[in-house]
Amino acid sequence: MAERLRNVSLLPTCGTIFHPYESDWKLLYSEDFTCSKNTKISASFRQSIALSGFQSEKSWGETIEDRGSQITYSALGQKAPLEEKKKWDPDFTKGEAVKNLPDKQIPDFSVRLGGATSNDVAKHGIAIRDDFHWRCRVPGR
């Protein structure tokens, strides 16, 4: 099993965390937010949700999640059923509206549509991972 995983890497949260597999999973990097940046991003989402008028009446779990290196706003909550997600914003107009204010308030971060009901915030350049080849060189590979 270990041999099969030798060339496997995990890059969760838009590539802001990198786990290559060697003899076990290693943490090569994690681009975590400071507490003050986390607070700024979360406040921007809360304000944007209020101003957009797209606050869901029901949610399934947390709507703003601190993933360490990424803040995710999920309009219906992290545990929302797929059928509810499909109905919420089929043309992504709600997600775009919620994204607009953080785009302006926190321009030093990348704000992207994450999924059917979510928006993700990460450091600029991390989500695209332009420097992936430089950062991910692991000796012996």
The pLDDT of residue 141 is 38
Query: Can you tell me the mean pLDDT for 4-15?
Result: 80
Question: Between 3.40.50.1970, 3.50.50.60, 3.30.1240.20, 1.20.1600.10, what CATH number should domain 35-123 receive?
Answer: 3.30.1240.20
Segment 57-68 mean pLDDT: 93
Q: Where exactly does CATH 3.30.1240.20 map onto the chain?
A: 35-123
User: Cα separations (Å) of 105 from 2, 16, 42, 101, 111?
Assistant: 45, 21, 11, 6, 11
pLDDT score of 140 more than 60:
no
80: number of CA atoms within 13 Å, CB side?
Answer: 23
pTM: 0.78
Identify the weakest region by mean pLDDT among 7-16, 73-82, 88-97, 120-129: 120-129
Residue 129 clears pLDDT 80, i.e. is over it: no
